Amino acid sequence: MYKKIVFSLILTFLMALSGLSYGDSRAQAIYKRILKSGVKKGKAIAKTADEMDIGFKDQQSIMRMVLIDASGGKTTRIMATKRLEQKSDGDKSVFIFKKPNDIKGIGLLTFEHKRKSDEQWLYLPASGRLKKISSDNKSGSFQGSEFSYEDLGTTEIEKYRYKYQEDGKFDGQDCFILIRYPTERSSGYSKQVSWVRKDNFQPLKVEYYDRKNEHLKTLLFKRYKKLKGKYWRAYYMDMENVQTGKRTTLTMINLRIGTGLSKDRFTTRALKRS
Amino acid sequence: MNKSIIAIFIVALSLIHSMIFSETKLDYKGEASFENWIFPNDAASTNQTNTNNTVQLKAEATLTSDFFSMRLEPRIKEDFSERSRGRLLLDEGWMGLTFSDFEFRVGFQQFTWGMVESQKLVDILNQKDYEGDFFDPDKLATLSARIIISPIEKLDIELYYLAHFIKAKLPTTKGRYSLTNGLSNIQDKAIFGNKAEEWYPNVAARIFTTISTFDIALSFFHGYNSFPTTDASFSKPYYYIMNQAGLEVTWVPGKPIFKLEAVYRNMRNSNNSSIPSILIPDPYLAYVAGVE
């Protein structure tokens, strides 16, 4: 009896340990399947990461954004975010500012589209105004941070060309080094160079190059966790503008997926109400 | 009477039930502000002040659960140059029910129509407080009920019932924006287009939709014109009844944003018998368009 209990405990511990591993056999299976279908390596890497995220349904979190200027001064903003997966098109998302008080209640609703420009609305509670805004200005800074609107949207595969550069290493992890070139003219970047982990196809670092092809920003992804046994999420992101020395960090708090959000939470009416 | 009490009891019980068995959230914030205005040049009348100091306290509390929400937004304003400009009022005070495709609110509410930044032709549901700032007046909450129905995605049908009309707060004797060398408060002498006066219900409807790169809204309003007309002696304000049809368009083809607002106002077919016809404008069309 004693041996059975010990054996069960060891087995349980080993199973739990395997869950903590960052390797992902599902990712490998998807990657092999896509490569076999004849897709080039660069696009296959991107498609694998994209396909791994299919089925999350919805996501919500509180996001703490810390803006750090070149001299180290900090400004903190808190946002509530919601995202709804769409089967045949890009995702819908809502950002609502919670702090500080002078921007509390400002909301941004985005309908991402795979093959046409995204739709965006901004709600300003001080005036009660709902404004349709141009999503072509996505290279602009999101609320004064080093993240642009383009950085915070989901990366639709169709909006980039991909090139596999070489294998590499970052932070002790084996990576694919992948270059992607935006196809949209409204993009603020000429290219993005990503270090993508070979075992789970999640990005660890992305270097952004401006339209003059100069290194503009570096984004680091940290504290990955696997939710619902399938979906990888980085709980910490650090974007540094290498040209100005400014940084913005994003920390996810209370991130949940598959919470049952309905599409009526992603309407202009709901934006005004929230 | 008994049926009414039972109905109210059922509604109240539903609200309490939804609050107890769902996640209820309370959001609140407060704000204190001080304003000092200095006019370097003397006004036309010695009654009109050259400086003005105002202190204002605002609070905002919103209670939300899955289906029920409630908001209170009181404001206190003290004007040290002219006490009559002091305010103690509710900027918002309403209760509401929200479902996936239906929303109902009742209470003191402020509404915002319109898409153009510079001229707000369509946005007429709320009365304005011209005493403090004539060119950028605060809105005054109105006792009202609003229903929004969303039968399909990207289509909202809004219906409004405005139970009580508030007379415009016009600049008074000491106010810098006073008309004709200082204007006494004449609101007590207001003449209304309907004998129900302030209790003549104003009604409105608005349809908002998104089609491709366009946001479009069509609206209709029947009720009092919020800014009164007056005769040459400025002795009485006249609030005539009008019908307004409105159109709002925002077009975002790419980086530029094109906007249009247009209204057609017709006062002639309304029952304004108590107002001299010479003071009632002819029907007119007004529009504003621009690009951002």
Q: How confident is the model at residue A9 (pLDDT cuts 50, 70, 90)?
A: low
- Predicted local confidence at residue A157, as pLDDT: 84
How big is chain B, counted in residues?
A: 292
More confident residue, A42 or B272: A42
- CB spacing of A137 vs B256 below 8 angstroms: no
Secondary structure string (H, E, C) spanning A220-262: EEEEEEEECCCEEEEEEEEEEECCCCCEEEEEEEEEEECCCCC
State what percent of residues in chain A have pLDDT above 90: 60
Q: Which residues of B touch A (CB under 8 A)?
A: 29, 31, 69, 98, 100-101, 103, 110-112, 114-115, 148, 150, 153-154, 156, 208, 210, 213, 215, 250, 252, 254-257
* pLDDT tens figures, A180-214: 999 888 888 999 999 999 999 999 999 999 999 99
Calculate the CA dihedral of residues B231, B235, B237, B238 and round it to 10 degrees.
Answer: -50
Before B237, cis peptide (omega within 30)?
no
Q: Answer whether residue A21 shows pLDDT above 60.
A: no
Distance CA B59, CA B78 (A): 15
Q: How confident is the model at residue A97 (pLDDT cuts 50, 70, 90)?
A: very high
- Predicted local confidence at residue B189, as pLDDT: 79
Average pLDDT over residues A11-32: 66
- Which tokens belong to A249? 């960090």
- Predicted local confidence at residue A271, as pLDDT: 92
Could you say which residues of chain B have pLDDT below 50? 1, 182
- Predicted local confidence at residue B82, as pLDDT: 75
Distance CA B181, CA B47 (A): 8
Q: Which amino acid is at B15?
A: L
- CB spacing of B114 vs A264 below 8 angstroms: no
Give yes or no for a contact between B98 and B67, defined as CB atoms under 8 angstroms apart.
Answer: yes
More confident residue, B184 or A47: A47
Q: What is the mean pLDDT of chain A?
A: 88
- Predicted local confidence at residue A16, as pLDDT: 47
Which of A133, A262, A268, A271 to probe the B interface (max B CBs under 10 A)? Answer: A268
Q: Answer whether residue A19 shows pLDDT above 50.
A: no
Q: Answer whether residue A20 shows pLDDT above 50.
A: no
Distance CA B140, CA B128 (A): 6
Q: How confident is the model at residue A151 (pLDDT cuts 50, 70, 90)?
A: confident
- Predicted local confidence at residue B180, as pLDDT: 55
Query: Which of A130-134, A140-144, B66-70, B254-258 is least confident?
Result: A140-144
Domain A11-83+134-259, architecture per CATH? Clam (2.50)
Query: Which of A10-19, A50-59, A145-154, B256-265 is least confident?
Result: A10-19
